[in-house]
Amino acid sequence: MPVFREKDIKAREIFPGVMLTQAVEYDNGSQAVTLGKITIQPGCQIPPHTHPVDDCMIILQGSGQLYTEEGSVPIEAGCHLWAPANTRHGVKNTGHEPIIFTYTWPAVNVARIMVK
Which residues of the chain, if any, have pLDDT below 70?
A: none
- For 53-78, what is each residue's pLDDT tens digit? 999 999 999 999 999 989 999 999 99
Task: Give the chain's domain count.
Answer: 1
- If phi > 0 it is left, if psi is from -120 to 50 it is alpha, else beta; for residue 27 that is alpha
What pLDDT, on a 0 to 100 scale, did the predictor assign at position 114?
Answer: 86
CATH number assigned to the domain comprising residue 74: 2.60.120.10
**How far are the Cα atoms of 25, 34, 39, 56, 74 from residue 48, in angstroms, in the given order?**
23, 20, 16, 16, 16
What pLDDT, on a 0 to 100 scale, did the predictor assign at position 26?
Answer: 86
Largest CA distance in the chain: 41
Domain hosting residue 42, numbered range: 10-114
Q: Which of 22, 48, 46, 43 is nearest to 34 (CA)?
A: 22
Structural domain contains residue 18? yes
C-alpha torsion 23→25→26→31, nearest 10: 130
Structural domain contains residue 2? no
